[in-house]
Structure 1
Amino acid sequence: MTIALRKGAYVVRLADGPADMAACQQMRHVCFCGGTGVDADRFDHLSHHIMVEDLGGSLTATLRVAIWPDGRAMLGGYAAQFYDLSRLAAARGPFAEIGRFCIDPAVRDADVLRVIWGALARIVDAEDVRYLIGCTSFAGLDPAPYQAALALLGRRHVAPGHLRPALKAGEVTHFATGPSDMKSALRQMPALLRSYLMMGGWVSDHAVVDRDLQTLHVFTCVPVATIPAARAKALRAVAG
């Protein structure tokens, strides 16, 4: 698989070789753990690694995508370590598992997310993907700063029962109950999660406390068939 596209001041491509992989892993360490180091695990060699670079060649964002052809393969993926995905595994694949998404903290440009979605659109079409899945992270381990967002997720965006992930992780936080202020909820959500929800995505009914990466994350799924037609057309336009 190859990806090469450009939007505005950014170019997107797939990692090619050890130097590219090291750059992605180093950025991940900065974003998830802080400081210099390398974030690597056994799923790296099973994944495509998307790199977003500015026109000077500096890495601006990265994420990895693993393609699981069916539910059995998906149960051996990263997210299945934390969530019981046996219900979802009964659905027809392929599944594209998105992970380790991070953007240079100094960059505040919406075009970065747009080119990433363009790259993902190419992968979805090339692999005939039916579900986009992954763990979407909130920074830190304390759910208090995200009460409005978690309450909104619990009230409006939990998975349908026949696909809903069940508890598996040892340490979880359940969503807040009651109403929440919409503006506060959306402000507290990661940009990637807002994008998933706009495309008809859903989440688990709880968040997992991930002490290795110092995050809270929710399982997220976007059935490709539910993406609004206008949104799909716009993403394919970015993909060229």
Structure 2
Amino acid sequence: MALEFLKHDVNVNPSQSLSGDQAGDLLGRIGSLETRLARTEREVNAAQAVRYRVFVEEMKAQLPADAMRQRRDFDAYDAVCDHLLVVDRSIDGDIEDQIVGTYRLLRQQVAMAHGGFYSASEFDIAPLLARHPDKKFMELGRSCVLPAYRTKRTVELLWQGNWAYALKHGVSAMFGCASFFGTRPEEHALALSFLHHNARVKGEWHVAALPELYREMDLMPVEAANARKALNAMPPLIKGYLRLGAMIGEGAVVDQAFNTTDVLVVLPISAISGRYINYYGADAGRFAS
């Protein structure tokens, strides 16, 4: 999902070699756009430059000095994650010029071998993982698309890539932070209250913000949280996950560095609507030809 920043140490660094899953095949194509995993360090660097353009230049995030100087958003997780790209082949130039969107994917097996998930810096995910020892989790993060490409087909390709990747690795559930712009949850009272009253995780999927970071989402009574107005006030990414069947963790977290208010999205594969599985392909082949 969107706008994370490393807040605890892991035993890797940005100069390490890429994870072993980087040579994946094409995962989807619509017109001149295609989605696939990054294959080289050069492509990851280009994706980090796209993230910088969106997070820093557009959304006014404050990265560490080294990242600001290099004009790339990077942290230690980049060395162990797989990087999903949307590439526009109609653009003349090198790969640095063609990447228009990206997602960062972190499988549980990889995360546990390298210090854990990013989301653990904001949300208490350990009990969630412990309740599902037989399931494979995947974290989605650093989602961004350049302004000119924020269209339905770009979003479809990003999801197609996530879906194909999840099927390939036998993922049981996806989760990750999604963000509202700004550090005042009260400015998003309608949307946050709607999520709290209508999409909050319960039961075996319950997860909450860390107590020391917890910010209330229940800012308006249920009868005041008009669904149509609330959905209109939400970032497209969060609306998209709700349509798929996602749930939202309890409590929000303010991320001062990225100038955002974060919520945790939890999406069990079993909760995804059948019509979306049929659309993207039970074998992830919908857009792969």
TM exceeds 0.5? yes
Give a deviation string over 1:105-157, Cα, whole Å, max 9, x none.
23331100001111111111101100011001112212233221101100011
Q: 1:87 aligns with which of 127, 134, 144?
A: 127
Distance in 2 between the 1:169 and 1:25 partners? 31
Instruction: Identify the residue that residue 36 of structure 2 maps to in structure 1.
Output: 13
Secondary structure of the equivalent of 2:178? strand
* Displacement after TM superposition at 1:72 (Å): 5.7
Map 1:108-187; keep pairs closer than 5 Å: 108-168=150-210, 170-175=212-217, 176-178=219-221, 179-187=224-232
Residue pair 2:209, 2:252 contacting (<8 A) in 1 also: no
Residue pair 2:245, 2:267 contacting (<8 A) in 1 also: yes
When you count strand as a share of all residues, which structure comes out higher?
1
Q: TM-score, with normalisation over the residues of structure 2?
A: 0.77
Distance in 2 between the 1:203 and 1:239 partners? 30
Give a deviation string over 1:32-76, Cα, whole Å, max 9, x none.
122772111111111110111212242211111011139966981
Instruction: Identify the residue that residue 100 of structure 2 maps to in structure 1.
Output: 60
Distance in 1 between the 2:41 and 2:111 partners? 30
Residue pair 1:159, 1:202 contacting (<8 A) in 2 also: yes
Residue pair 2:248, 2:266 contacting (<8 A) in 1 also: yes
Percent identity between the aligned chains? 26
Relative distance call for 1:151 and 1:204 in structure 2 (3 A) is same
Distance in 2 between the 1:25 and 1:71 partners? 20
Distance in 1 between the 2:220 and 2:185 partners? 13
Distance in 1 between the 2:25 and 2:265 partners? 24
Instruction: State the structure with more CA Rg.
Output: 2
Secondary structure of the equivalent of 1:116? helix
Relative distance call for 1:72 and 1:47 in structure 2 (3 A) is closer
Instruction: Identify the residue that residue 27 of structure 1 maps to in structure 2.
Output: 50
Relative distance call for 1:138 and 1:3 in structure 2 (3 A) is farther
Distance in 2 between the 1:78 and 1:98 partners? 10
Query: 5+ residue gaps in structure 2?
Result: 1-20, 59-67, 92-97
Distance in 2 between the 1:233 and 1:74 partners? 35
Secondary structure of the equivalent of 1:39? coil
Instruction: Identify the residue that residue 7 of structure 2 maps to in structure 1.
Output: none
Runs (4+) off by over 4 Å:
70-75
Q: TM-score, with normalisation over the residues of structure 1?
A: 0.91
Paired residues in the alignment total 240
Relative distance call for 1:72 and 1:38 in structure 2 (3 A) is closer
Residue identity in the other structure for 1:195: G
